[in-house]
């Protein structure tokens, strides 16, 4: 770093750095740590595969290999042990629904019991190329899951399709969100438990401005469609019901930690 530009850049970063944690940040982290268990060392190391599987750098493939290896071990244990106890229930067990953001179709995920549950995926109306030649465009896939802590990794060894064609499917990774009792996929899609009356989740309402204070801070925790201006544009965000989203009325700004003063 001998040139003047480098010196200016370094000085600028040092001058503008703010190493003061936000108010309450430390306490919030420690509170979460207090409620979080540590992983077993073997689980941690299996999840890393640092450079040992060179041609398979993607997270999806690593999870697929982990799931496959553990599934094989458990199958062997069942065979050698002559069967086992009924599978214990997990938070993932049951039916989950979501909306395909591409075409609005309803998607369903049925997760069985136990730590390696059977998983059935269904898209009620697939508009992708995989089903282009099919008259009935219900896309289905059957797979097997592996649960680690609050994460479910699902592989679909036989792929999926609408009947005429089968296509491969990447490993799906879903995290359970205890605060909202939903699943969050690695693709950003959120899955909900279906309503007891069988209806689809209610279409998100447009949030009516209800300023919480004189600074026009909107309480968005009920979810909905939030729009506000950014310069000459209007940005709209679709929010699912959550615990603490807030936004400004006049300018597009979303925050989970309250509106700025």
Partner 1 sequence: MRDLVVRARGGDRDAFSELVARSIGRLTAVGRMILRDEYAAQDAVQDAFIEAWRSLPGLRDPDRFEAWMRRLLVRACFKTSRHGKRTASVEIRLTPADEPAVAGAERQLAIHDQLERGLARIPAQQRAVVVLVYYLDLPLADAAQAMDIPLGTAKSRLNRATNALRAAIEADDREPSRMGEQLA
Which positions touch partner 1 (CB under 8 A)? 1, 5-6, 8-10, 12-22, 25-26, 28-30, 32-34, 36-41, 43-45, 47-48, 149, 188, 230-231, 235, 237, 252-257
Q: Which is nearer to partner 1, 71 or 184 (CB)?
A: 184
How near is the Cβ of 12 to partner 1 at its closest, in Å?
5
Closer CB to partner 1, 21 or 157, in the complex: 21
Indicate the residue among 115 and 189 with the shorter CB distance to partner 1: 189
Crossing angle (nearest 10°) for helices 41-48 and 59-81: 130
228 vs 248: CA distance, rounded Å? 8
Helix (H) or strand (E) holding 246: strand 246-248
| Shortest spacing between CB 16 and partner 1, in angstroms | 7
Instruction: Give the Cα separation of 97 and 74 in Å (integer).
Output: 29
Summarize the chain as % helix, strand, coil (round to 5): 20, 30, 45
- Nearest CA to 121 out of 170, 84, 52 is that of 170
Element (H, E) at 175: strand 166-177
Nearest CB to partner 1, comparing residues 33 and 214: 33
User: What is the maximal distance between C-alpha atoms in the chain?
Assistant: 73
At closest approach, how far in Å is the CB of 32 from partner 1?
Answer: 6
Closer of 89 and 234 to partner 1 (Cβ): 234
Q: Tell me how far, at minimum, the Cβ of 260 lies from partner 1, in Å.
A: 9
CB of 10 to partner 1, least distance (A): 5
6 or 75: CB nearest partner 1: 6
Residues with Cβ within 8 Å of residue 71, at least 6 apart in sequence: 116, 144, 146
Of 87, 74, 32, 63, residue with least CA distance to 185: 63
- The least distance separating partner 1 from the CB of residue 161, rounded to whole angstroms, comes to 29
- The answer to whether the beta carbons of residues 199 and 88 sit under 8 Å apart is no
């Amino acid at each position: 770093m001998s040139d003047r530009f480098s010196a200016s850049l370094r000085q600028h970063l040092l001058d503008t750095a703010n190493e003061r944690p936000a108010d309450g940040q430390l306490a919030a982290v420690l509170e979460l740590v207090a409620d979080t268990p540590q992983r077993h060392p073997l689980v941690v190391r299996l999840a890393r595969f640092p450079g040992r599987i060179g041609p398979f750098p993607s997270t999806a493939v690593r999870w697929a290999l982990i799931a496959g290896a553990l599934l094989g071990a458990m199958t062997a244990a069942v065979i050698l042990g002559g069967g086992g106890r009924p599978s214990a229930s997990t938070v993932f067990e049951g039916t989950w629904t979501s909306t395909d953001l591409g075409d609005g179709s309803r998607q369903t995920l049925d997760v069985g019991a136990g730590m390696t549950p059977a998983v059935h995926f269904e898209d009620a109306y697939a508009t992708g190329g995989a089903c282009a030649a099919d008259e009935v465009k219900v896309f289905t896939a059957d797979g097997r899951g592996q649960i680690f802590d609050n994460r479910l990794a699902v592989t679909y060894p036989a792929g999926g399709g609408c009947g005429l064609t089968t296509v491969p499917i990447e490993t799906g990774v879903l995290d359970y969100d205890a605060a909202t009792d939903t699943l969050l996929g690695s693709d950003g899609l959120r899955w909900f438990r279906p309503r007891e009356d069988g209806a689809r989740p209610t279409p998100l309402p447009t949030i009516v401005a209800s300023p919480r204070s004189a600074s026009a801070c909107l309480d968005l925790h009920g979810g909905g469609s939030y729009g506000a201006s950014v310069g000459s544009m209007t940005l709209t965000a679709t929010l699912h019901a959550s615990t603490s989203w807030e936004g400004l009325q006049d300018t597009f700004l979303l925050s989970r930690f309250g509106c700025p003063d």
